[in-house]
Amino acid sequence: MSSTQPIAARHKGFNRAEIVDQNFVEFVQQWHGDVHAKPREHDPILPGSALDAQGFRELLESQLISRHLDLMARVLRVQNKVFYTIGSSGHEGNAMVARLTRHTDPAFLHYRSGGFMAERFRKLPGMDPVMDSALSFAASKEDPASGGRHKVWGSKPLWVLPQTSTIASHLPKAFGTAVAIEQARRIGHTLPIPNDSIAICSFGDASSNHATAQTAFNAASWTAYQKLPAPVLFVCEDNGIGISVKTPSGWVANNFQHRPDLDYFFADGLDLAEGYAQVQRAVDHCRSTRRPTFLHLKTTRIMGHAGTDFEIEWRSIEELVAVEASDPLLRSAAIALESGLFTKDALLALNEATRKRCFAAAEEADRRPKLERLDDVMAPLAPYTPAKVKAEAERADYNDKRIAVFGGEDKLPEKQPPRHLAIQINQALHDVMAKYPETLLFGEDVAQKGGVYTVTKGLFKTFKGNRVFNTLLDETVILGLAQGYANMGMLPIPEIQYLAYFHNACDQIRGEAASLQFFSNNQYRNPLVMRMASLGYQRGFGGHFHNDNSITALRDIPGLVVGCPSRGDDAATMLRTLMALAKVDGRVCAYLEPIALYMAKDLYEAGDGQWQFAYPAPGEAMPLGEGRVYEAGADDLVIFTFGNGVPMALRSARTIQKDLGWKTRVVDLRWLAPLNDAFIAAQAKSAKRIIVLDEGRKSAGVGEGVITAIVEAGLGSTPLERVVGADTYTPLAGAAFLVLPGDAEVVAAAHKLAARK
């Protein structure tokens, strides 16, 4: 390999990609060494190697495909024919992981996985790794992975779920998928893949330090410690650097080699002959033991982090020369020549043929259609088939199961007296779990305890620990598990104990769950309904962690459905629709449960019982976007609100009528994302005055969206006041009510409107 050094030294200022390319050619041309007898197809490629000649030839071809896709991208990016240059050069040894696993082992891949993908394409006949990859590089509408929305490694038939993560946010859902593979058997669910499958997850050494990665490793160990199966293969592709920050020598091995209940294996990803058996041991161990396995794969990074990374500006030429000399393709070339499997001419011919194939595919991909219409871009983001969702939400063909779950026909919830919100959410959860045997409910304290507010009380007893269970205290893992279960065809209902805790794990929804349909062109989906105790006004147990009114972080997530009921019957019909949206359209949903209304029974005076409602029988469901209107036709004042604001507005309306003689209509939005602009405009059209009551903070709250809908409908001249929370964290005890809107503020806003000329 020393023949690479003079080339690199002579061309200090040249394009390093050109140098790396030429290094391979000159290495082959100048190679002089002993040649073994040409091996037969199933003979070891070299004495003592576990890799046979056929396997080596195919792995070498996959390595060359990966390399020339990188080289092609560097050349054609400047011609605006390719739009992605983060390459796999130096990581081509990950092709061994693809060869030694199955195409039905779900894979969540690092962005340097060109070798893995090229090799996995061999698993099914008729697939073309070069053309498929070229279409993705070119952002072509015909890209079979993402439909031109991003350069991703992905394939529906090959079970490679597209990732856009540049760090480690895909590790929790890979772990979740591994757990789901085992959970399916326990609940009698039929998997879409073989029962002994494993989940594969690759990432870089730098990413292994990320908090999201560490939470996945910890959860995997926590699971294995309890003797529960979690067949996830964590593949750390260690190239010793993250963009420009070097990983301390020996750090990965030292950090993971002795970690309890995370089984460590090392493999040389720079040497196919040496590394193959090492990778095989890790894969076989993971599949047979069903334990989380950490494969430390030695790689290198050549040609920089991406095409815009000019390493010569921050690394010495001597260091670059040394890195380029460790190119795994040089070692593969040496094996090819030493084994007698290739002559120099044959190897050079394969190299050039691969180059031409990649460039030809890229030129063809450039001629293919691109995404040119906004509707086409957004088509897979938030699929919605209203008729099918309605039919599924109203489907009531499971009465025998309901009777068994509730303990008799006379105990069905619709035959009980009106009840408050917490009870009816609990009844609705029993109901949907009876309807959907693939549903799992999990989170912190949800099982035997029944949740901190007893909303999940009795579910563990009814549906047992395989379907209702506690998790470790980690919201990132909870949402990673949810995605894993969804990947395997189940319907998860994860609970985040408080809305404030969601922010710890927001990217699992924003960057992962809600983006999967978009970046897979609706080929993959991970339906889930995330429950969260939410909003403010909780008495006796407060502070900003338990009174969080920040809904903005949810409403900003593309494609996420956010519903917020204020009363029990709405809670039941909304949950049915959310489950149907997940089941039918694969939607990711958030279900906000107002804590302060959980136990509310009265509306105007103590003991009036006017905030308790009859449970809606199966067959009733709330259409997405449909609000509830109180006092329809009352036009003197219209109050738009949601959650805690609904009973507040109703109480205020009584006072306003006494003070001003106005008849007030209260509009409960119920659905906070997407906001139903047409419904808002229709309600505002006849209003003489408007109050927007938003218990969230002033900045970026739901109220801003309501006002925008009114103004964009041409109704901006209608006198309007906004009653909203302050831009502050919520303090403890009575001080909390100083920063949240109350009845008095709503009435004051009405008087302010009355004072306008």
CA torsion angle for 162, 165, 168, 171 (degrees, to 10)? -20
Q: 29 to each of 302, 328, 345, how far by Cα in Å?
A: 21, 17, 8
Task: Give phi and psi for 121, each to the nearest 5.
Answer: -60, -20
Coil, strand or helix: which one is 730? coil
**Three-point CA angle 398, 402, 403, nearest 5°:** 120
The SS3 call for residue 531 is strand
658 φ/ψ angles, rounded to the nearest 5 degrees: -65, -40
Structure tokens at 449: 């305890």
Name 15's Cβ contacts closer than 8 Å, sequence gap at least 6: 74
Please state the φ and ψ torsions of residue 603, each to the nearest 5 degrees.
-115, -55
Which residue in 276, 166, 176, 184 sits closest to 232, CA to CA?
176
Annotated active-site residue 110? The verdict is: no
> Phi, psi at residue 512, to the nearest 5°?
-120, -70
Q: Which residues pair with 204 in a beta bridge?
A: 237
- Tell me which residue of 665, 597, 596 sits closest to 630, measured CA to CA: 665
72's tokens: 């092609």
Order of strands, sheet of 199-204, starting from the edge strand that comes earlier in the sequence: 107-108, 199-204, 232-238, 293-298, 263-268
DSSP code per residue over 460-473: HHHH-TTTEEE--S
Cis? peptide before 144, omega within 30° of 0: no
Distance CA 389, CA 150 (A): 29
Give the amino acid at 680: I
Q: Which of 42, 296, 546, 751 is catalytic?
A: 546
> 696: which DSSP letter?
E
Number of other residues whose CB lies within 10 A of the CB of residue 482: 33
User: E strands, 401-448, where?
Assistant: 439-443
Instruction: Show the tokens assigned to 80.
Output: 């605006």
Residue whose tokens read 């039919």: 391
Strands 528-534 and 468-470: unpaired
Rama region for 247: left / alpha / beta (φ>0; ψ in -120 to 50; rest): beta
Q: Tokens 């006041």 identify what position?
A: 721
Candidates 685, 693, 747; CA nearest to 716 is 685
- Looking at the chain, how many residues does it have? 757
Secondary structure element (H or E) that encloses residue 517, with its range? helix 516-519
Q: Which residues are catalytic?
A: 546
